[in-house]
Structure 1
């Protein structure tokens, strides 16, 4: 106990977690995995900017349409909303701790270190670094009232939409630079050894950073929306979620259909999130989607594991399938990996409190070795 009688800060117990949020995180991870696999591991991420390619298979064409129209940026937007909500939950649960800000700063600093390692050594499509940097910006807003979160979220999202309508000159790489990178990627990722792939991965980071720059304001805005959703109680309001879901999905789909994709993507992500949270709050919904909760509780570990697995499958130091598979074949591999992670996550959490990386993250955040076995009592720091 602390001197004032308040309990020392500690990680959230499994019994205190909101299962519907873990379900949503697990489902969203499938969308992120599918896009990363089909558009970034299978081929160069920059091929999409060189114009549409003719796909031989009608099935490939259909799957590509579904992924780009219904999943692509929406899954990442969902993850941003969830991260913002999670940061607000942590902030509020540490209300009685004098170390609240320092603990959350440390949490984000550890995430930044993990992100840089992932970015440089495992896969440069990393999202963790961007999330850590955006988290540092959002953290001060969490001390303010809900109206501040609302205005800040609207301001950041408005700036993002303005940036999409009027892209800053020179921010995006030239077509010639993209073409050279795609040609090099097709050669090095497909046939290069570990050190060749590592060197090229590092060389690509400035180009990758330009893509993050285009969505960074959206990430901050969605973090704030996620925090506001938690603070307003809407995440626990099943009836409200089921009203919001069809409205956001309908308006979002209409906006995308009429060419207003940036705003439509945000609304569609909100609709997806509300629908899954609402469904997962019912007993029948829990039985239908409960398999995703363990995956969501271990999302950090599973995300990094996907990078390691797909890197070995597609790059030259492994099976070297880069550029050799169609969309359907690649997605089939991804579904098999995802299904394996569903089973592994459920098994792991029957024996352990956290995923391996989640455990390390919490241990470094609190500065105290956290219990790992499911039967152990939580250590307070």
Structure 2
């Protein structure tokens, strides 16, 4: 039998899926966020408030939680391979190659920008560092954030972003992107491909380095099983809430008030404080799930997190069918509040479908494929009553 799944990890991953969807859906619903421009069609106080809430509480927060859990699971997979007497490196190289292919297809057909290819490439670095001591991993993570502090700080002081981000040009480009997303499949693919260099630059300068740093933190946490055998009363959880909400929310407020990704200083503040807010979210959810009245939260979220990759891709399939020209064509026609409501509705549907799926099969649809690639075995999703 395989090792039992850690329900807290699955539930945290399921929770992260909701936050990721609330962020990503904005890039499917309109061409304006892609170009860092405000849509003049949605300029009421309610529209601004919903957008502001998204920046404070969601932007740049949930991919960090997902990345931490990737690093944590990486360590568990390493130890599982050791127990099975299997060579871990070939397994993980196949897994990362499979993830890269899935991510590349995802970026071309389903979404403007992609995180899976970043995970695959940064995962190679994590694989190379799997044997480093905890101290080395933590110092490396700290050095990455120090590097970001210096580079983004220098950009804030010496680079005039107003000369780069011309509002008129951005609005015109946003209208064109919206039109492309409302067009044919070739128009949509062309838009996605044209956006790859822009998103690639952002991933190279910010998202990639922070992903590696949090991967390393997750790996160290996995070594010490920090997410196992919790009872919700641990002092460290309360400390994470106190520090994380205090500092993280202050950073989120500054990020939103200063213009979000349009302002390098705001990005720097978010980079430095978002990890703390992500940690506070995780600590709060863990405390809730271990309370007498909160155990149902774990039971609700865990199946969605158990098949997180399938659900992540499924989110993009849903938004493609809702917003683009090959579906309902609602791109540019939905307000920020309606967009957020659609995100919640998609997530609730995924939670329900996840419960149905895992009650019958052990692996999610894409997880089964990736597992077959990882282990170089025949494709099988296995029924729940079979051995892992």
In structure 1, C-alpha distance between the alignment counterparts of 2:286 and 2:218, rounded to whole Å = 13
The unaligned stretches of length 5 or more in structure 2 are 256-268
The alignment's C-alpha RMSD in Å is 2.5
Q: Is the 8 A contact 2:17 2:308 kept in 1?
A: yes
The unaligned stretches of length 5 or more in structure 1 are 1-11
> Could you tell me how far 1:361 is from its partner in structure 2?
0.6
Poorly superposed stretches of 4+, deviation over 6 Å: none
In structure 1, C-alpha distance between the alignment counterparts of 2:126 and 2:154, rounded to whole Å = 25
In structure 1, C-alpha distance between the alignment counterparts of 2:253 and 2:110, rounded to whole Å = 36
Q: TM-score, normalised to structure 1's length?
A: 0.87
Closer, same or farther in 2 for the Cα pair 1:258/1:181, shift >3 Å?
A: closer
> Could you tell me how far 1:53 is from its partner in structure 2?
5.4
Structure 2 residue 314 is matched with structure 1 residue 327:
no
Greater mean deviation of Cα atoms: 234-243 or 46-55: 46-55
Q: Is the 8 A contact 1:24 1:276 kept in 2?
A: yes
Count the aligned residue pairs. 363
The residue number in structure 2 matching 1:34 is 22
In structure 2, C-alpha distance between the alignment counterparts of 1:78 and 1:371, rounded to whole Å = 27
Q: TM-score, normalised to structure 2's length?
A: 0.86
In structure 1, C-alpha distance between the alignment counterparts of 2:195 and 2:34, rounded to whole Å = 14
The residue number in structure 1 matching 2:225 is 233
* Equivalence map 1:1-381=2 (5 Å): 13=2, 16-37=4-25, 39-44=26-31, 46=33, 49-50=36-37, 55-96=42-83, 97-167=85-155, 174-175=164-165, 178=170, 181-190=173-182, 192-213=183-204, 214-236=206-228, 237=230, 238=232, 239=234, 240-257=236-253, 260-369=269-378, 370-378=380-388
In structure 2, C-alpha distance between the alignment counterparts of 1:326 and 1:144, rounded to whole Å = 48
Greater mean deviation of Cα atoms: 172-181 or 280-289: 172-181
The residue number in structure 1 matching 2:258 is none
> Could you tell me how far 1:29 is from its partner in structure 2?
0.6
In structure 2, C-alpha distance between the alignment counterparts of 1:91 and 1:320, rounded to whole Å = 44
> Could you tell me how far 1:234 is from its partner in structure 2?
2.7
Q: Is the 8 A contact 2:8 2:227 kept in 1?
A: no
Q: Is the 8 A contact 2:32 2:171 kept in 1?
A: no
Q: Is the 8 A contact 2:61 2:275 kept in 1?
A: yes
In structure 1, C-alpha distance between the alignment counterparts of 2:223 and 2:251, rounded to whole Å = 28
In structure 2, C-alpha distance between the alignment counterparts of 1:244 and 1:318, rounded to whole Å = 43
Closer, same or farther in 2 for the Cα pair 1:245/1:229, shift >3 Å?
A: farther
> Could you tell me how far 1:51 is from its partner in structure 2?
5.6
